[in-house]
Amino acid sequence: MLSRRTFLAMAGGAAATSAGVGAAVWAALVRDHVDTALAGASGSAASELPAAPGTTRSSGASTAGHVLVVLQLGGGNDGLNTLVPAVGRYRDARPKIAIPEAQLVSIDTLGYGLHPALAPLRGRWNAGQIAAFEGIGMRAQSRSHFKAMDTWWAGTDGVTSTTGWLGRWLDATEGATPNPLRSISLGTGAPALIGERSLPTVVLSPAQFALRLPRTTDAKAVTAAFLATAAPASAAPWQAAAQSAIPSALDAIAVLDRVRAQAEATTVDPTGSGPTGATGSGAVARAAADSATSLLQTAAGIIELGIGTRVILVGISGFDTHSDELDRHQDLLADVARAITAFFDRLQARGKADNVLLVTTSEFGRRVGENASGGTDHGSGGVQFIVGPAVKGRQVVGEPALDRLVDGDMPIGIDTRSLYALGLDWLGGPTDELLGARFDRYGLL
Amino acid sequence: MNNREQVAWLARRAAFGLAPGELDRLADRGADAYLETLVAPELHGIAAGGDPWSGLTFSDDPTKRRAEGLALAERWLAHQAGTPRPLVAAMTWFWHDHFAVSYTQVKSTQPFSRYLTLLSKHALGDFRQLVTEISTDAAMLIFLDGTTSTGTAPNENYGRELLELYTIGIGNFTEADVRAAAAALTGWVVRPRDDYSTLFVRSRHNTAAQTLLGKSVTDVATVVDAAVRHDACAPFIAAKLAAWFLGPDYDTASLAGFAKVFRDNNLAIAPLVRAILRAGLDGAGGELVLAPLPWLVAAQKSLGVNLDTGTAYRYLTAAGQAPLTPPNVGGWPGPAAWLGSSATATRVSMASALVDLAPAASPVLKAAAVGDLATLASLLGRPGGFTPATRDALTAFAATKPAGKAGAAVTAVALASPDLLVA
C-alpha cells in the first residue's frame, strides 16, 4: 500500500549512517528544502522540477506553475438541488424539498437556476469562469459511499487500483528530489493522492496544526531527536512509513506556520460588514476551521508561498442529506459558495488566480425522488463544477435525464474521467496515458 | 516472542497497554493465562468495575451539549485506561468504530451513553443480539434516520449500512435487498422528551412481507436473522476483527479458521476474539499501526497520568480521531490515516503534554533520564527493546542531558517515535 521508495530517496546517504549523524542530515534536509522553497516566494514555483522525460504538455502556455485544487464534497452532494433544472419532473419528484422557482438564482444559461445559497457564484458563472457537468459519474460507483469513493479516487471505473488518479500523475512527474509538499490534503485523508512513490502531506485541521513540545526544553533539540528516529529506515513497511511521515510533518509545519503568519499580517475587516456582505473578509475570517471557506483560505496561502505545491485536495463533509435536507444543504452550499468566491478573489488580488483551476468531486448524486425524512437517499449521476479564469464557462455539459431514470436515479451520461482529464491537462499531463484512454474534454479549457 | 513479549503484545493490541509493574505481574502467570482473563474475565473473578457513566448529568440543554459530551468522553477515556476488563473496553471501542454513531447528530449524552452501554454489554457476547439491539437503539435510530423512515417512504440509510457495513459486506446483496430491509425496519421512533425511549408504531410500519437475501422478512428480528445467517456474515466479521487485532498484513490463510470458529459458536464473539489473539501469539500477526485514541490511552496508562478532557479531546480531534464523533458511517479510516502529518505532529504534542504532567519520580522518566533504554522500552510495553533507529536517536539525545525536567524530553521522543505507533 505504502511505498518506502520516496522515503529512501529522500534519506539518501543518511539511511546508511548512524542515527546520530542521521539527525543532522535530516535536519539539514528539511531546513534546506523549506528554506529553498520559501526563498522562491516570488511565486515562480521555485522548487518545481522539469517534467519527467516522455511527458506530454498541452499546447499553449506552460503548465509548470499550474495548481489544481480539488474540492471534495463528502457524503454525496445532491446535484439536483444544487444546479436546478427547469423541468417539471424535478418538481413532481420532490413535493417537499424542490427549491421554489421564485428562490432560484437565475444564470445566463438556459434551462437551469442555482440554489439560492450559491448566489455569490452568479457573477463568476455569468463571467464565464464556471462550467458544470450534469449526470456525471462512473459506471462502477454503486450507491455505497465507500465503493463510490473508492471508484472516484482510483479513477479506473471499477478496476482495482492501489493508487489514486492524482497519485499516478504525481508519480509520473516527480523529479529526482521529491518535494513532500507537492501534494497537500487539507481537512481530509487523501486516497486520490496516493501513488506508488508519492505520499501526500495530510493536514486534517490546519488551525490546530502545530508542535507543542515539553516545557522548558530546547525545541530545536527535541525536534532534531524526533527527526533522528526517522532514519535509518526499518525493513518493516509500516514502521518505515511511520518514519517517513516525520520529515513530511515537520516540513508541513514550517510551511503552515508561514501561511498563518501571512494571514495574520493581512488586514481583516473585523466587523464582517465589508462591501461584499456574506463573502466579506470578516465572514471569511469567522468561518469554522473545518469549513470549505477556511480550508480554501489555507490553500490560497500555500499557493501564494510558491513552494512547488501542484495539487491541493480540500475535503468537507456533511452532504449525506438523508433527512432535513433543505436546512442542511443550505448551510453546506453557502459555505461552498463563500469558499470559492473568497478563494479566487484573494488569488486574483495577488495576481495568482490565472494559475489555478478548481474542480469539485462527490461520490454520487442523490435519488431523484425525496424520502419521508425530507431528504434524499443515495443516487447515481450527479453535478460537478469546474472553476477558474481559464475555464470556458457559462455552460452545462450533459443533461438532466429525468425522463430516463435508472432505478429512480439520474443516469450517468458523462464519465467522471472527463473531469479528471481537464484537471490532468491543466497540470500538464500526460493525461490520456494516465487515464488509459482519451476522454472528451467538451472544450471546457 | 518470549513470554514477556507475548504478554506485552496482547496488552498493546487488546488491552490499551500496561500500567507500571503490570508486565512483571502478568508475565509471572504467563501469556496464556493473561489471554483467558482478557477474553473471559467473569470466569476469573475479575469484577466489571462501576458504571462509567454514573453521576453524569443529562440535561438535554443545547447550551450544555458540548460540556456534557466532553464529560462523557472524559469518563470513557478514564474507563479505558482503568478498567479491570480492558478487552471488554477495547471491544467496545471496536464496536463504536464498527457501528459508528456520531454525537454530532445524536446531540444528547443520554441516548449516546446508552448506546455505549449496549456496545459494552455485548462487546464479547452474542453478535446476533448485538445487531438486534443496535437496530432499535435510540442513538442509532437518530443517526441513520430510522426515526423518520416510514412504511410509505422508507429511508434506506440504516437498511443499506446494516448489510454493507455491519453484517455481510458489499457484493453480497442487491439494491432490492436494501429496499426490503429498509421497508421491514420501518415503524420505530425515539421520544426525546421521554428519556429517549424507543417505541414501535404500527401505523408507521410497512407490514408487507419483503424478500431479503432470499428470506421473507417483516420486522427487526427477521431482518437481522436473514443478515447474520447469510454465509458472508461470519467471514466478514472475522476478517474485520482479524485485521483490527493482527494488522492489515496478517496471514490470511488463518481467516477461514476464524470464520469457522465464529460460525461453530453461533456467532459468539469471545471465541472468535480468542482464536484471533491466540493466532497472533503464534505469529500470525503483522505490523499494526495504533490509532490516536488507543495510542493515547496506552501512553497515559504507562505514565499513570491523564490529560484533562478539553486537552485530550482537542488533540484527538487534531489527530483525526475524536471519540464520539467518527467522520462518517464507516467509522475511522484505515491505518494509513495515522501516518499523516496531522497525526504525526499531534502525537508529539500529546507526548509532550503527558511528560509535563508526569512526576520526575515516575519510573519511566527516571529510566529516560539516565539513558536506561532497555528499562524505558519495557515500561512503555516493548520488552524486546526499541528498533535501531529509535534506540540510537534516544541514546544520542539522552547523552546530551537535554534541558527541562530530567527524562521528560527523552520520554516524549520515545512516546512519539515510530516504535510506539506501530504495535
Provide the whole-model pTM: 0.84
C-alpha span between A336 and A294 (Å, rounded): 10
Does the CB of B23 have a partner CB in chain A at under 8 Å? no
C-alpha span between A189 and A317 (Å, rounded): 12
Which A positions 153-192 lie with beta carbon below 8 A of chain B?
185, 189
Residue by residue, DSSP assigns A34-70 as: HHHHHHTTTTS-TTPPPPPTT----SSS--TT-EEEE
With beta carbons less than 8 A apart as the criterion, state whether A420 and A437 touch.
no
Low-confidence ranges of chain B (pLDDT < 70): none
Contacts of B307 in chain A (CB under 8 A): none
Contacts of A317 in chain B (CB under 8 A): 327-328
- At A21 the three-state DSSP class reads helix
Nearest-by-Cβ selection for A189 from B289, B340, B390: B340
Residues whose CB falls within 8 Å of the CB of residue B337, separated by 6 or more in sequence, listed in order: A189, A202, B320, B343
What pLDDT score was predicted for residue A402? 95
Query: Is the Cβ pair B337, A234 closer than 8 Å?
Result: no
- Direct distance between the N- and C-terminal alpha carbons of chain B, in angstroms, rounded to an integer: 14
Residues recorded for chain A? 445
Query: Is the Cβ pair B148, A323 closer than 8 Å?
Result: yes
Query: Is the Cβ pair A228, B402 closer than 8 Å?
Result: no
With beta carbons less than 8 A apart as the criterion, state whether B92 and B120 touch.
yes
What pLDDT score was predicted for residue A280? 65
Query: Is the Cβ pair B336, A147 closer than 8 Å?
Result: no
* Cα angle: A3, vertex A6, A12; to 5 degrees: 130
Q: Which three cell numbers stand for residue B385?
A: 527493546
User: Which candidate in A238, A316, A321, A364 is best for mutational testing of the B interface (most B CBs within 10 A)?
Assistant: A238
Residue A50 has a CB neighbour count (10 Å cut-off) of: 10
Query: Is the Cβ pair A1, B340 closer than 8 Å?
Result: no
Query: Is the Cβ pair A205, B416 closer than 8 Å?
Result: no
Contacts of A202 in chain B (CB under 8 A): 337, 340-342
Residues whose CB falls within 8 Å of the CB of residue B353, separated by 6 or more in sequence, listed in order: A212, B307, B311, B315
Residues paired with B295 in a beta bridge: none
Query: Is the Cβ pair A233, B348 closer than 8 Å?
Result: no
Query: Is the Cβ pair A253, B342 closer than 8 Å?
Result: no
Q: Which three cell numbers stand for residue A37?
A: 522553497
C-alpha span between B387 and A83 (Å, rounded): 55
Nearest-by-Cβ selection for B345 from A211, A216, A243: A211
Query: Is the Cβ pair A372, B330 closer than 8 Å?
Result: no
Which B positions 306-325 lie with beta carbon below 8 A of chain A?
314, 317-320
Residues whose CB falls within 8 Å of the CB of residue A364, separated by 6 or more in sequence, listed in order: A76, A137, A141, A143, A148, A378, A379, A380, A382
Residue by residue, DSSP assigns B8-33 as: HHHHHHHSS---TTHHHHHHHH-HHH
From first to last of its 445 residues, chain A has per-residue pLDDT tens of: 233 333 333 332 223 223 333 334 444 444 455 555 555 443 333 333 333 433 444 445 689 999 999 999 999 999 999 999 999 999 999 999 999 999 999 999 999 999 999 999 999 999 999 999 999 999 999 898 888 998 999 999 888 788 899 999 999 998 877 787 899 999 988 889 988 877 788 888 888 888 999 999 999 999 999 999 999 999 999 999 999 899 989 988 988 888 888 877 764 444 444 444 455 678 888 899 889 999 999 999 999 999 899 999 999 999 999 999 999 999 999 999 999 999 999 999 999 999 999 999 999 999 999 999 999 999 999 999 999 999 999 999 999 999 999 999 999 999 999 999 999 999 999 999 999 999 999 999 9
